[in-house]
Amino acid sequence: MKSYKLQNIVEIVSGQLIGDGQTPIEQIFFDSRLIVHPINGIFFALSGNQKDGHTYIADAYHKGIRTFVVQHPIQQYKDINQIIVDNPLQALQNWARIHRQQFNIPVIGITGSNGKTIVKEWLNQLLWKNFNISRSPKSYNSQFGTAISILQLNQENDLGIFEAGISMPNEMEKLEEIIQPTIGVLTKIGNAHLENFKDEEQLIREKLKLFTNVDKLVYNIENEQLHQIISDDDHLSKIDKITYGYTDSALVQIKEIIQEETNTKISILHNQEIFTFSIPFQDDASIKNSLICLTTLIGLNIDYKQYKSNFSALLPIEMRLEIKEAINNSIIINDSFNSDLNSLKIGLNVLNQQKKARKTLVLTDILQSNLSDQELYQQTADLVNPYHFTEIVLIGDKISNYKDLFQSYVRSYKSTDEFLEQFKTQNVYDEAILLKGARPFQLEKIAEELETRSHDTVLEINLQNLIENIKTYRSLLKPTTKIMCMVKANSYGVGSFEVANVLENNGVDYLGVAIADEGKELRKAGISVPIIVMNPEQSSYSTVIEYQLEPEIYSFRVLDLFVKKLKEKQISRPYPIHIKLETGMNRLGFHESEYDHLIETLKQTPQVYVQSIFTHLATADMQDEKEYAQYQFNRFDNGYKILSEALDVKPIKHCLNSPGIVAYNDHQYDMVRLGIGMYGYSEYSDFMNKKLKPVVQFKTIISQISELKVGETVSYGRRFKAERNSRIATLPVGYADGIRRSLGYGKGKVGVNGKLAPITGTICMDMLMIDVTDINCKEGDEVIIFGSYPTLADYTKDLDTIPYEVLTSIALRVNRVYYKE
Ligand SMILES: *Cc1c(COP(=O)(O)O)cnc(C)c1O
């Protein structure tokens, strides 16, 4: 971004400056975790529904930030500059608004429910050779994301492409003021966030506010409601409307769409001329999005006929940055979807959040740029060097020439194949590896070498949805309520470290594990948030103490043994413990009759202090057991009162698990303990089930399809006999993967191309068979065991169990794959 003097910013945001107004500002931060290179950076303490940004000031300071925009003045540091404003978000937005006014260039503003990012990225792919484009990084389209995007605009740019996303009424006006688009683009309008609006019309009208001041507007004329609203609106009806659709009133009229083997050929009629172009995709969304792009080119007065070859070279936009387990305790992040500096920055950020002893970057020539090579690779090196990679591998003729700009141990190669020829897997260990390269370099070949247990059956974990689900639960809580996330049993079977890492990065207060060894693994992997061990085994107290885990104490026996261990280890500071009260579950905990003795004991035990007091509900997920829950709350309130008064302390008070958060919101106390809800399942509430997003998808592929004649049989014991001519598909997954054998004989169903196929015959150890007679499918097709459809809840129903058991039963040999959108 362009350099600002702090004094200018103070004036723009009408804030009060304490410090040096001459300080140059060249980078903006709002997330202290993303700070690597703090030079000339400014930190905005934004408050969202997550956490108050002021809490991260210390972290930002320690990472080298010395300039802050805050609501509450910072007292603890003297060597800093600060701007004090009423509202840091508004200040950021005002700055962006004023910044935008300095540019008199076409700016495309994109909104809609789906496809914003793809249209933005495709326009960039089509146009970057002829324009110097500034665009939103990634999917930055929120109230602060748009502001940060706009602030990237600089004097060299001659085109801006920015997304705007809203989820509530009255949000778009602000985004319009920031982006000030001159050309409006509306992608598909769906039902996302409809629940926050009166009706669809209100949602559409809100989106249209982005176009208050545009000269031209691109949209699909076949959306009748939208077209009507635009035509009836005094102001919008006067805008130059650039529409596409099948009807002859569309400016760009779709004439013919022909699916070919891997392409789609699209013919349109515009200005009485037929134009045919081709895209390397076949799905409806891609066809629509390519038409939006073509129509937008008309809006820019560009001759789209010159761009025919660019359309056929469009690349898929995979926004998921895949994080995969790799050999020798390593992980890889594979990002070869874009080849530009912006996406490199994002990849570096994701890498930096991985806690591995060693960090490696594999980087190819960068293709999408209009800088000179010297400038491009200088900027690349400036971006990369602050991350202090253990090793950097450069691939490609161009980037290799600039090897000396990179400060780590660098090796360079002409091609990926040349690299692979000398590559030895045993040299890779405990590493986080970022593979960042342009498509033609085929970095996936390296990924294949590095991935562990390549297997057609995988458990996919969508970490982005996990974060969204936590936000959904957080929205039910008071801002001050703490969150403990339960990652016991390998995070309900999906993978402790990866989940814990995301949770830590998203500011959860506590993690809960079942046994000490689980906590030890997390500590060894670098997790530093407080961890409570719910069921510390007697033999593991040393581990608890060595790894600074905090034990649940539920009886005198446990207290006694733990204190003995503390003395033995000569721990001089009081050690935090968590007192569990028995209030009705009759599992673990101190009973009322023991309170007096407990108080006496704790008073005489300076080796420990009570960090929290808690209990657990037996019936949180049962609508007809509210009375019992109330009985437990009463006993818990009473116990907490007696202990805290007698000991004159105020420990964290907590009780609710996931269903409890929804059912007993008024008993959230100081903290809640979130478990199954994170994974998108809510037994208690249909409402929550709709709001939550699926996190886990268990999938495999079809290995083989056989045609059976009437009377032929399938699998051991011939328990399935074809009653008609049937098609039977074999899947490479069986009871050794955690599919319960009782799901055979038609009881269980799996998803194939959106339809349900019954499991036929007996399930084998490593394979099972399904009936696909009525389903259009072929060998190699994907099969969903559970996830999108059937859902985890559907699958659970067939089994007569609970999702907790389903998730924790998936065998370890099933490869877990993690990704973040
Ligand atoms: C597992 C567990 C939770 C989380 O329960 P969910 O139903 O998965 O939300 C909460 N508290 C305790 C003590 C637990 O053991």
pLDDT for the residue numbered 690: 83
Closest ligand 1 atom to 658 CA? 9
Q: Which residues line ligand 1 (CB under 6 A)?
A: 486, 488, 534, 616, 657-658, 673-677
Instruction: Please state whether 223 falls in left (phi above 0), alpha (psi between -120 and 50) or beta.
Output: beta
Structure tokens of 505? 């990065």
- Domain spans, the chain: 4-88, 103-312, 321-451, 461-691, 696-820
Three-state secondary structure along 223-270? CHHHHHHHHHCCCHHHCEEEEEECCCCCCEEEEEEEECCCCEEEEEEE
pLDDT for the residue numbered 455: 65
- Nearest residue (by CA) to ligand 1, atom 8, is 675
Q: Catalytic: 488?
A: yes
pLDDT for the residue numbered 61: 94
Closest CA to 505 of 490, 524, 526: 526
Closest ligand 1 atom to 492 CA? 8
Give the β-pairing of 27-29 and 41-44: parallel
CATH topology of domain 103-312: UDP-N-acetylmuramoyl-L-alanine:D-glutamate ligase (3.40.1190)
pLDDT for the residue numbered 264: 93
Residue 394 CA to residue 390 CA, distance in Å, equals 13
Give the Å distance between the CA of 659 and the centre of ligand 1.
9
Residue 134 CA to residue 2 CA, distance in Å, equals 12
Residue 55 CA to residue 743 CA, distance in Å, equals 50
Residues contacting residue 37 through CB under 8 Å, at least 6 positions apart: 27, 383, 386
pLDDT for the residue numbered 716: 92
Give the Å distance between the CA of 320 and the centre of ligand 1.
30
Give the Å distance between the CA of 486 and the centre of ligand 1.
6
For the purposes of burial, counting CB atoms within 10 Å of the CB of 124, is it exposed (0-12), middle (13-18) or buried (19 or more)? buried
Residue 730 CA to residue 696 CA, distance in Å, equals 23
Closest CA to 411 of 430, 391, 426: 391
Give the Å distance between the CA of 675 and the centre of ligand 1.
5
Pair 210, 172: CB distance under 8 Å: yes
Residue 99 CA to residue 51 CA, distance in Å, equals 28
Q: Which CATH architecture has domain 4-88?
A: 3-Layer(aba) Sandwich (3.40)
Q: Sign (positive/negative) of CA torsion 210, 215, 219, 223?
A: positive
- Nearest residue (by CA) to ligand 1, atom 15, is 534
Give the Å distance between the CA of 323 and the centre of ligand 1.
27
pLDDT for the residue numbered 49: 58
Q: Residues 488, 580, 653, 749: which is the catalytic one? A: 488
Residue 688 CA to residue 34 CA, distance in Å, equals 31
Closest ligand 1 atom to 657 CA? 9
Give the β-pairing of 330-335 and 321-326: antiparallel
Give the Å distance between the CA of 662 and the centre of ligand 1.
14
Give the Å distance between the CA of 650 and the centre of ligand 1.
23
- Tell me: is residue 765 an annotated ligand-binding position: yes
Closest ligand 1 atom to 580 CA? 13
Give the Å distance between the CA of 492 and the centre of ligand 1.
10
Structure tokens of 498? 């990866």
pLDDT for the residue numbered 560: 96
Pick the CATH number of 321-451 from 3.90.480.20, 1.10.10.10, 3.90.190.20, 3.30.70.270: 3.90.190.20
CATH topology of domain 696-820: Lyase, Ornithine Decarboxylase; Chain A, domain 1 (2.40.37)
- Nearest residue (by CA) to ligand 1, atom 4, is 675
Helical residues (DSSP H) of 63-199, grouped into ranges:
88-101, 116-127, 143-150, 172-179
> What does the DSSP 8-state code read for residue 89?
H
Task: Quote the strand ranges of 583-722, DSSP E.
Answer: 608-614, 652-654, 671-674, 696-701, 704-708, 713-714, 720-721
pLDDT for the residue numbered 686: 79
Residue 511 CA to residue 534 CA, distance in Å, equals 10
Give the Å distance between the CA of 624 and the centre of ligand 1.
20
Q: Residues 445, 716, 778, 797: which is the catalytic one? A: 716
Q: Which CATH superfamily is domain 461-691 in?
A: Alanine racemase (3.20.20.10)
Pair 768, 744: CB distance under 8 Å: yes
- Nearest residue (by CA) to ligand 1, atom 13, is 616
Residue 28 CA to residue 99 CA, distance in Å, equals 14
Q: Is 638 helix (H, G, I), strand (E, B) or coil?
A: helix
Closest CA to 68 of 111, 117, 35, 101: 35
Give the Å distance between the CA of 594 and the centre of ligand 1.
25
Pair 425, 327: CB distance under 8 Å: yes
Q: Which amino acid is at 361?
A: L
Closest ligand 1 atom to 677 CA? 9
Q: Which of 477, 580, 657, 674 to mutate to test the pocket of ligand 1 (most atoms within 8 A of CB)?
A: 657
Span 552-568, pLDDT tens digits: 999 999 999 999 999 99
* Residue 295 backbone phi and psi in degrees, to 5: -65, -35
> What does the DSSP 8-state code read for residue 463?
H
Give the β-pairing of 107-111 and 67-70: unpaired
Closest ligand 1 atom to 514 CA? 15
pLDDT for the residue numbered 138: 78
Pair 575, 566: CB distance under 8 Å: yes
- Tell me: is residue 587 an annotated ligand-binding position: yes
Q: Catalytic: 308?
A: no
For the purposes of burial, counting CB atoms within 10 Å of the CB of 338, is it exposed (0-12), middle (13-18) or buried (19 or more)? buried
pLDDT along the chain (821 residues), means of 10: 92 96 93 82 84 88 94 94 96 97 97 92 90 88 94 94 94 97 93 82 94 96 94 92 95 94 92 95 89 97 95 78 80 81 83 86 89 94 94 96 94 94 83 90 87 76 91 90 95 90 89 96 86 93 93 97 94 92 96 97 96 96 94 98 96 97 95 95 80 93 95 93 96 96 94 95 96 94 93 89 94 86 57
Pair 25, 18: CB distance under 8 Å: no
Name the CA dihedral angle for 180, 184, 189, 195, rounded to a multiple of 10 degrees.
Answer: 20
Give the Å distance between the CA of 673 and the centre of ligand 1.
6
pLDDT for the residue numbered 607: 94
Closest ligand 1 atom to 616 CA? 13
CA-atom Rg of the chain in angstroms: 29
Structure tokens of 556? 């005198």
Closest ligand 1 atom to 552 CA? 13
Closest CA to 158 of 26, 300, 25, 298: 300
Q: Sign (positive/negative) of CA torsion 595, 599, 605, 609?
A: positive
Residues contacting residue 172 through CB under 8 Å, at least 6 positions apart: 111, 164, 166, 206, 207, 209, 210
Q: Sign (positive/negative) of CA torsion 405, 406, 409, 415?
A: negative
